[in-house]
Amino acid sequence: MKKIFCYVFLQVSTLLFAQKETNHWVLGEYVGLDFNFEEPVVFSSSLNTNYCTVSIFDGAT
């Protein structure tokens, strides 16, 4: 029973990652980009970020 529960839990948890939370970037003073569309869409944000950090990962090891 424990093995079945663990298997189901792992399968469901992999589906929950596809929420696209990384498609919203906040840059600079109250400005952001939304990458959920074909072209990025600019939106206003309530955050003021004085410093920007960028990282890129292509999935290769």
Domain membership of residue 58 (yes or no) is: no
| C-alpha closest to that of 42 among 58, 55, 56, 26 | 26
Q: Tell me the per-residue pLDDT of 18-31, one tens digit each, with 9 for 90 and over.
A: 567 678 787 778 88
Does residue 34 lie within any of the structural domains?
yes
d(CA 41, CA 30): 14
The per-residue pLDDT for 37 is 86
Q: Is 8 helix (H, G, I), strand (E, B) or coil?
A: helix
Range of the domain at 42: 2-48
Burial (Cβ within 10 Å: 0-12, 13-18, ≥19) of residue 6: exposed
pTM above 0.75, yes or no: no
Residue 54: inside a domain: no
Is residue 25, in this structure, part of any structural domain at all?
Answer: yes
Percentage of the chain exceeding pLDDT 90: 3
In a domain, residue 6? The reply is: yes
The Cα 12–Cα 43 span in angstroms is 32
